[in-house]
Each structure stands twice: as C-alpha cells, then as structure tokens.
Amino acid sequence: ASNPGQFENDSDALWQRGHVPETVVSYGRVGINTDAPDEALVVCGNVKVMGTVMHPSDSRAKQNIQEVDTTEQLRRIAQMRLVEYDYKPEFASVMGINNTHETGIIAQEVKELLPTAVKEVGDITCENGEKVDNFLMVDKDQIFMENVGAVKQLCKLTNNLEIRIEELEVWNRKLAKLKRISSLKSTVNEKSTF
C-alpha cells in the first residue's frame, strides 16, 4: 500500500512516514506471511538480501570483553552432528519454506552442547492441524562464531605441529650427520686395523 497506515484509523496508525525520504516506520512487530510475529521482524518464507547484514561490533559499545576458550569451541563443534533432512510438508507450507531439503543441525542436539544458541519460540500449528509444542530455533550466528573459535584452535594446533615437524626435521638431519660420521669412523677403524 502507498500509505501503510491506511488500514487503521489515523489515530491508531502503527505505520508512519520516516524522517528520511521514502521510509516508513513501524513501532511494534512486523510479520510477513504470519499474523503472530514474536520478534521485531518475522518472515515466514525466503528472504532475499542484495547486500550485507550488519551487526554492531564497535568496542566502544562493549564491556567485560574476554577471550574465549577456543579449545572448548573446537570440542563443541566437533560434537555437533551435521545432517541432511527434509522438512515435513505440513510444516514447510505454514512457514513458507519452498525448498524442503536442507543440510543443517538439530536444535535438541545443539541445546545439549550450546544451550545459549537455542531458543524456544512457543507453539507452532502445522497446516494439517498438528501442533508442535515449545518449538526450538537455533541462533546460527552464535554457531558461526563457535566455528570461528574452532578454526582458530585448529590454526594453533596446525602451527604447533608445523613447529614440531621442523624440530624433528632438524633432529633427523643431525642424526643422519652423526650416522655418516659414525660410519666414516667405522670405515677408518677397519682400514687402520689392516
């Protein structure tokens, strides 16, 4: 609609023109293909983004900054099972999911390893009337950051192995040199006994 607030009385309008040209503001929740959004924006269906999704990360907006234990992140990622699955048609239809075959993780399993990455979003009613109580969703951004930590830990392990290999190669060259010297001494001793 050219005036999103036209569906409400002017005094009850939830949509307003923004301060910047060609913008609309809504104070409340927005649902696309759903009439019960439980977050600022809920989209049931695919989202096409022709740009970047930005997250706040400026150190000036943060406090209590601490390094994380990348060993633990690697352990958790190693224990996460990556599976292929198909969404049930009655669920996919309600959620606006076109491609029902996916590769991913199972929220119940992730909850055992990384409980903060799983959120209960309430009950979901499928197209056939089947109700899924306490539906679980995963925070893929948090899992992505777990992967960053796991990769950092793998880099540390790889670097340590490279250093160890270089040390062993130095020792191997020294041992080969000692073996040649020992072999020369044996040859000299054999010749001197004749």
Kindly report the pTM of this predicted structure: 0.71
Average pLDDT over residues 117-133: 91
- Give me the chain's average pLDDT, please: 88
Whole-angstrom distance, CA of residue 132 vs CA of residue 124: 5
The pair phi, psi for residue 39, each rounded to 5°, is -135, 175
| Percent of the chain with pLDDT strictly greater than 90 | 50
**Position 63 pLDDT exceeds 90:** yes
Q: For residue 151, what pLDDT is reported?
A: 98
Residue 54 tokens read as 């930005």
Q: For residue 12, what pLDDT is reported?
A: 63
Least confident segment among 36-45, 55-64, 178-187: 178-187
Nearest residue to 105 (alpha-carbon basis) of 95, 92, 89, 118 = 118
149 Cβ partners below 8 Å, 6+ apart?
68, 70, 73, 74, 77
The residue ranges of every structural domain in the chain are 1-47, 69-194
What are the tens digits of pLDDT across the range 144-162? 999 999 999 999 999 999 9
- 3-state per-residue secondary structure call for 110-127: HHHHCHHHEEECCCEECC
The CATH code of domain 69-194 reads 1.10.10
105 Cβ partners below 8 Å, 6+ apart?
80, 81, 82, 83, 138, 143
Instruction: Encode burial over 57-77: b for 16+ CB neighbours within 10 A, e otherwise.
Output: eeeeeeeeeeeeebeebbebb
